[in-house]
Every structure is written in C-alpha cells, then in structure tokens.
Amino acid sequence: MIAALARAISRATGTNVDIETLKILVIFSGAGLLVSLVASMIYGQAINAALF
C-alpha cells in the first residue's frame, strides 16, 4: 500500500519519492496527530471551562 502511494505521489509531482522517506513522514505525522489528540482531550475541558 505504501509503495502504491509512493508511485502515485511520484506520478503527480514528477519527482522520485523514496518509500522509506514516505514511511518516516507517515510515522511522524501520525505521532503528531496522536499527541495533539491527547493534548486536546486533557486540556480541552480546562479551556472549555475557562471560556464559559
């Protein structure tokens, strides 16, 4: 699946996309999303209470 995504990106942009680079990018993006979701769950209630 990642190889197909890399080929699609390569065709769309006209550049050569390495599969390992794409894997690293997906891992860091997923980790950032996870951290932001956890932070919003923890601090979301405190921010919501402060606004109202």
pLDDT of amino acid 22: 82
Q: Is the pTM of this model over 0.75?
A: no
- Cα–Cα dist 30/46, whole Å: 25
Give me the chain's average pLDDT, please. 81
Nearest 5°: the CA angle 33, 2, 39 is 5
Residue 17 vs residues 3, 9, 11, 23: alpha-carbon distances, Å: 10, 7, 9, 11
Phi and psi at 15, nearest 5°, equal -110, 160
pLDDT of amino acid 30: 93
Residue 1 has pLDDT above 80, yes or no: no
| Residue 8 CB coordination number (10 Å) | 11
Quick one: pLDDT band at residue 35, thresholds 50, 70, 90? very high
